Amino acid sequence: MSLLRQEQQSFLFAALCGFFAASAQMILIREILSAFSGNELLLGFALSIWLLAGAAGSRVGRVTGGFSFHACAFSLITLFLSGIYIVRSVRFFSLPGEAISLLTALAVLIPVEIPFSFLTGFIYGTLAVKHDGRRLYRYDNAGSIAGLLLTTVMILPGFPNMFIAAAAGCILLPFTLQKKIWFVLSVSVIVLAVLCNGFSLGWKYPSGTKVTYGPEGEIAFTENNDAVLLNNYVYRSRIPQPSVEQAVHIPMSLSGGKKRVLLVQDRGFSSEISKYSESEFVCLEYNPSFANKNCGYGSPESFRFTDKFDVIISGAELPDNLSSGRLFTQEFFMKMKQIMNDSGVFSFTLPFSQEYLTAEEKGIKEILMNTLGSVFRYYSIFPGEGYTFMASDMPFNLPDTVAVDAPYLKSYILPSMTPERISEVNKLSLSRKINTTDRPSLLFQSIKLYLDRFGISPLLFVLIPAVMLLVLLPLFMRSIPEISVGTTGLISGIYSIGILFLYQSNYGTLYSRIPLLMAALSLGFFAGSLIRKLPFPDLIIGVYSFSTLLLLINCDNPPLLFFMICNLGMGFLSGAQFVTRRTDQWGKLNASDLAGGVAGMAIGPAVFFPLMGVSGTAMLMLLMKLLAFAGQTRLKRVKMG
């Protein structure tokens, strides 16, 4: 590094910091998702805390004298790798699969993210005072793109998170060579982190657990395969035989004769379906790690079947996040109907209590019934060992008998399903909410159910990001350039988290695809930084965000490339607006941009998407940018006059 001039070292360090920070962010997000049971709501908080610390660091960096490359490189490596262990340690105090409260999660995110992100923002703010802010912005984003691409290349084959983290850490080692002690310490931290990787996984899972990485998340197979955990959520376990019999034999017994059956996600149902020897049976798993000789890998929404089905049984669990909720949307039910015969039956069974449902569970039940009713002509719930939901375009009743051996169902469950009980559980309130990709009503109920477990008021969940919005925007947006860039940061934050949520709602594989989606955003930032002039940026950004989000929700399973192009476009416009502002205070402008992103990423998943849906949020984003455009136009006229 001594061969490079000071200015060259600064730009190279900015690029490598961008590389390292982008990789670190993706790995920490994966660790957070796996530690906190795949709760995507925490994703918005994690990203907003990251940006908030970066904004503060950038602001502080503008007024400091400088820093040493080697000390900062060592500090970044140490903070990142220790952060992984802090996230994993939270599972040391809880059982595998046990839900962790929102407050505990935030208590973990703050020490993990704030020091690291503050330091990266501090580095940018300090360098921006001494060097060309536009050029520095390009180097930072070019490094981010490279870091995200490397992370993606290592994620897809299934490399463990710690090995990817170590590879990313090595990128900063050249800047520690100026003083050997920093180099030795940095290498020691990386080696120690890799050596302790297996030990730290033991904090999350019992001994004998096999851990692997799939497209949907971190998968843990307990000893003897008694249970399978996906992102520390019990994805599959040994279900009591009565529940299995009810889930399979009630829909299978509605009619006699040979049937063509589709099972989506086998939770022990295949052995019962195989009792119908004359029937043709197809089984699909969404995750390749769960596929076996009896159940193949594939998505029923896009799989090309030769013939339609008489019975479709979904083994999906009670939806508690966007990934599982996608199997209970109007769009999913429509796709199941399209691959069914005219008299076909669609069914799923959820573990609701026979005796009592909480207000949130009642809300989930009614949303599911309304959603089924929006697709099928006839639908009903049969209560027993859980609630069996069934729907068809042909009328049906509870079967009187079962043609195969099902002792629990015949002796206990069917006799308990009296007409009075069936009538009672099928009662609906005046609410007509349905669950769609655009308006995920189940998400709001799942949030309330999650918070209710820990005695947290949903109002508090909404107030935290709302207060953050009210405090941050006036603090960081005091001039015309700051208002313009800051509101764009707000829109970009809402938009980018919306893209992630929409992708998760369609495919459920955000865990492995998030680096690609974020790489597209960074590529847009870099390409936009090359632009010299962007007329009416607020108007263009408002129209773009509104139109592309509406296009995404109206497309039938848009491909990953489409999501990436949308993110790239938003990054391009945001980057172009940033570098075309007339200012010499790039650190201050960067802080405004990040502060807007903080508010957008916090309030988007907590308030806008659950309450307003994607289309309502898109309309609000357009309105915000139209107001910003009108306000700036008026201020400019006053200034010129």
pLDDT of residue 223: 72
> What is the DSSP code string of 159-186?
--HHHHHHHHHGGGGGGGTTSHHHHHHH
pLDDT of residue 478: 60
Q: Which of 162-166, 289-293, 458-462, 573-577 has the highest mean pLDDT?
A: 162-166
Q: Per the structure block, which two tokens stand in for 221?
A: 């197979």
Answer yes or no: do 475 and 582 share one domain: yes
> What is the DSSP code string of 195-230?
HTHHHHHHHHS-TT-EEEEETTEEEEE-GGGSEEEE
Beta-carbon contacts of 471 under 8 Å, excluding residues fewer than 6 positions away, are none
Task: Give how far the C-alpha of residue 484 lies from the chain's centroid of Cα atoms, to the nearest Å.
Answer: 28
**Distance between CA atoms of 451 and 163, rounded to whole angstroms?**
34
Answer yes or no: do 481 and 607 share one domain: yes
Q: Which of 154-158, 170-174, 257-261, 445-449 has the highest mean pLDDT?
A: 170-174
Residue 382: CATH number of its domain: 3.40.50.150
Model confidence at 586, in pLDDT bands (50, 70, 90)?
A: low
Beta-carbon contacts of 139 under 8 Å, excluding residues fewer than 6 positions away, are 11, 12, 14, 15, 18
Answer yes or no: do 201 and 274 share one domain: no
Instruction: Round the CA-based radius of gyration of the chain to a whole number and report it.
Output: 26
pLDDT for residue 450 is more than 80: no
Residue closest to 371 by CA, chosen among 425, 432, 318: 432
pLDDT for residue 595 is more than 70: yes
**Distance between CA atoms of 533 and 134, rounded to whole angstroms?**
13
pLDDT of residue 469: 66
pLDDT of residue 640: 67
pLDDT for residue 460 is more than 90: no
Model confidence at 635, in pLDDT bands (50, 70, 90)?
A: low
In a domain, 451, yes or no: no
Q: Of 102-116, 288-302, 466-480, 619-633, which range is least confident?
A: 466-480
Note the pLDDT tens digit of each residue in 175-201: 888 888 999 999 999 999 999 988 887
Residue closest to 127 by CA, chosen among 136, 138, 118, 114: 136
Beta-carbon contacts of 393 under 8 Å, excluding residues fewer than 6 positions away, are 337, 342, 343, 344, 376, 377, 378
**Distance between CA atoms of 18 and 1, rounded to whole angstroms?**
18
Higher pLDDT, 474 or 570: 570
Give me the helix-helix angle, 102-130 and 133-155, nearest 10°.
140
In a domain, 217, yes or no: no
Query: Does residue 574 contact residue 490 with C-beta atoms inside 8 Å?
Result: no
Answer yes or no: do 366 and 464 share one domain: no
pLDDT of residue 376: 97
User: Which backbone phi and psi does 104 adopt, to 5 degrees?
Assistant: -65, -45
Residue at which a domain ends, from 168, 191, 208: 208
pLDDT for residue 102 is more than 90: no
pLDDT of residue 337: 95
Residue closest to 97 by CA, chosen among 206, 184, 254, 215: 206
In a domain, 446, yes or no: no
pLDDT of residue 474: 66
Answer yes or no: do 203 and 251 share one domain: no
In a domain, 146, yes or no: yes
In a domain, 315, yes or no: yes
pLDDT for residue 295 is more than 80: yes
pLDDT for residue 628 is more than 80: no
Higher pLDDT, 164 or 64: 164
In a domain, 461, yes or no: yes
pLDDT of residue 34: 82
Report the chain's mean pLDDT, rounded to a whole number.
Answer: 85
Query: Which residue type occupies 612?
Result: M
Residue at which a domain ends, from 189, 208, 227: 208
Note the pLDDT tens digit of each residue in 298-350: 888 778 888 899 999 999 888 777 778 889 999 999 999 999 999 999 999 99
pLDDT for residue 576 is more than 90: no
pLDDT of residue 479: 64
In a domain, 594, yes or no: yes
Residue closest to 169 by CA, chosen among 70, 26, 73, 69: 73
Residue at which a domain ends, from 208, 227, 248: 208
In a domain, 447, yes or no: no
Q: Of 120-134, 513-527, 627-641, which range is least confident?
A: 627-641
Give the number of other CB atoms < 10 A from CB of residue 368.
Answer: 26
Q: Per the structure block, which two tokens stand in for 616?
A: 């309502």
pLDDT of residue 45: 81
Answer yes or no: do 298 and 350 share one domain: yes
Answer yes or no: do 283 and 194 share one domain: no
Answer yes or no: do 461 and 420 share one domain: no
Model confidence at 146, in pLDDT bands (50, 70, 90)?
A: very high
Provide, rounded to the nearest whole percent, the portion of the chain with pLDDT above 70: 91
Answer yes or no: do 479 and 533 share one domain: yes
Q: Residue 133, SS3?
A: helix
Model confidence at 639, in pLDDT bands (50, 70, 90)?
A: low
Model confidence at 6, in pLDDT bands (50, 70, 90)?
A: low
Q: Which residues pair with 299 in a beta bridge?
A: none
Note the pLDDT tens digit of each residue in 84-99: 999 998 887 777 767 7
Query: Count of residues for the chain?
Result: 641
Residue 621: CATH number of its domain: 1.20.1250
- How many domains is the chain built from? 3
Query: Does residue 56 contact residue 1 with C-beta atoms inside 8 Å?
Result: no
Burial classification of residue 268, based on how many CB atoms lie within 10 Å of its CB (0-12 exposed, 13-18 middle, 19 or more buried): middle
pLDDT of residue 347: 96
Answer yes or no: do 43 and 189 share one domain: yes
Q: Of 169-173, 432-436, 441-445, 526-530, which range is least confident?
A: 441-445
Q: What is the 3-state secondary structure (H, E, C) of 277-325?
A: CCCEEEEEECCHHHCCCCCEECCCCCCCCCCCEEEEEECCCCCCCHHHH
Answer yes or no: do 514 and 630 share one domain: yes
Model confidence at 473, in pLDDT bands (50, 70, 90)?
A: low
Q: Per the structure block, which two tokens stand in for 599?
A: 């508010």
Answer yes or no: do 248 and 204 share one domain: no
pLDDT of residue 562: 96
Note the pLDDT tens digit of each residue in 11-66: 888 899 999 999 999 999 988 888 887 666 778 888 888 888 887 888 788 777 67
pTM to 2 decimal places: 0.84
pLDDT for residue 606 is more than 90: no
Provide, rounded to the nearest whole percent, the portion of the chain with pLDDT above 90: 33
Domain assignment of residue 193, given as a range? 1-208
Q: Where are the alpha helices (H) located in 374-440, listed in sequence order?
A: 407-408, 414-416, 419-425
Task: Determine what percent of the chain falls in helix, strand and coil, rounding each to the nearest 5.
Answer: 65, 10, 25
- Residues 418-446, mean pLDDT to the nearest whole number: 87
pLDDT for residue 371 is more than 90: yes
